[in-house]
Structure 1
Amino acid sequence: MTRAVHYTATIDLARPMGDRPAGGLSVRAAPEGEHQAGAALLPAERPAAYRVPFEVDRFGAERIELRNASSDVLRWVTIDLMGPGHFVAQTPTRLEPGQVLAVWLFGDDLARQTKVQVTWFFQGAQYLWLVSL
């Protein structure tokens, strides 16, 4: 079997999924004389982001492999399918550097309607990354 396409996450940044208000905005009471619409502010401190630690290899429409391309151990790695279809994966709770997680996908027209959601813990924070098929 030949590898169809090799994708490497080189520009995606992962951010912790910690306690954040909806839309990433904080709200304060408007000072006297200021219109209430001006009360939404960007957060003063954003959690640090880091490069997504995965490389994605695609083997046709039915299988992808996620490789831990970082030098860090990733804990509680889980996979979810967002959209129609279903999958089979032996999800490890720990993904060592260089270790691969294979995911087999089943369904019609997955590339147009479905994404793979990867969730993991790193340095005490939970991260989320969506992979388009």
Structure 2
Amino acid sequence: MQYAFAARGWHIEPWEETAQMDKHKDIPLTGPKDSSFRHYCSCYPGGKPTYNIKLKKEDEKLFRQSPEKYQQTNSVCQLCYNLDRYVALWGTTNCTNTQPFQYSKLLMERYHPEVLKGKCDLPWLCERVKR
């Protein structure tokens, strides 16, 4: 997200009331354990909590199903953005950043060290699509 904001000229800085939840269910990677806001990584055990919220039956009438070409369960965030993969999933770059960038070695070491070791089971990050 930092890259998206920076590419658009926004200034960002750490927010002390937040925690980054990672591979441990109750222990944040960064930030206080009792933080007001938590950001969940794609590697969080069981998946991101809000992705598992089910729609109440009485709320089904509040919206229509999106067109099939926009229905997608994969997410592209938290240092896992890949433009080739985005285009393969969505078929266009209309709603995304098209500026080329590469994640720094420091960020990769911090969040996805397995990728630097040649192991990658994160198709949204590592899979390169032939165009």
TM-score by length of 2: 0.17
**Greater RCO (CA < 8 Å, at least 6 residues apart):** 1
More strand by share: 1
Larger Cα-atom Rg: 1
TM-score normalized by the length of structure 1: 0.17
| More helix as a share of residues | 2
